[in-house]
Amino acid sequence: MNNTKIEWTDYTWNPVTGCNNGCPYCYAKKMAVRLKGRSGYNKDNPFKPTFHLNRLNQPLEKTKPSMIFTCSMGDFFDFEVKSTWREDVYKTMDKSKWHAYQILTKQPIIEPEFRDAFPKNLWLGISIDGTSKYWEKPLKTLKNSSAVMKFISFEPILGNAIPDDLSNIDWAIIGAQTGVGAKNVNPRFVDGVVDLITDSSIPLFVKPNIRRQIKDTSNSEWSLREEFPISSQNNKEIIGV
């Protein structure tokens, strides 16, 4: 488990790595390729979905309530991720109810096979980059899921293929592409996402790399929030620990 510069979380935790989505801007795949043959990454296929048993209990070593971005180096709901792997991860979440775990996916969300509902300290989200409507089924499964917190990350925002209905969504993130070869953000795409979120009265976390492009909404009934809707300190109240 590692400290991270990602502004909306405290740590990254990767008991499962790898993904088959094939996003051209994926930082996780680039890093896996650099680490191939090391740190648990397969030499021949470093981004193949893989379970890392030695990382499973890492969150239990942190006693301070924290936000933990889970599987930042893969997709937890990839078709090659075994249900037993996910169940083991859920068990760790259950054992460490003082943390809030955040998972992002581009795949339809699968309800736990071995329990009635997701852990109460799990925040589930989907990534939408606006390039196509691949998110239609994942968004539907997210809305219908038992997750206590449901969120959307519009990052990187690269197009205007976005939903028109954010009912049952609790939180949103917006950000630009980063790294070598990053594409400039079209202000029209940014305005579309912000208008959608504003109209839905959903708390919004604005990544620093896009804040200058967010129009002023100070006179609206709802103001943009740059803080978490739930902090790690009051998460216990939300999840009923």
pLDDT tens-digit profile, the chain (241 residues): 899 988 889 999 999 999 999 998 888 988 888 888 888 888 888 899 999 999 999 999 999 999 999 999 999 999 999 999 999 999 999 999 999 999 999 999 999 999 999 999 999 999 999 999 999 999 999 999 999 999 999 999 999 999 999 999 999 999 887 766 666 788 899 899 999 998 998 998 888 878 777 765 443 333 333 444 433 344 433 333 2
> What domain count does the chain have?
1
The C-alpha atoms of residue 241 and residue 239 are separated, in whole angstroms, by 6
* Domain range for 231: 2-239
| Amino acid making up residue 49 | P
Q: Say if residues 81 and 49 touch (Cβ distance below 8 Å).
A: yes
Q: Say if residues 143 and 111 touch (Cβ distance below 8 Å).
A: no
Q: What is the pLDDT of residue 180?
A: 62
Q: What is the pLDDT of residue 12?
A: 97
Quickly count: other Cβ atoms within 10 Å of residue 92's Cβ.
20
Number of helical (H) and strand (E) elements in the chain, helices listed first = 5, 10
Q: What is the pLDDT of residue 13?
A: 98
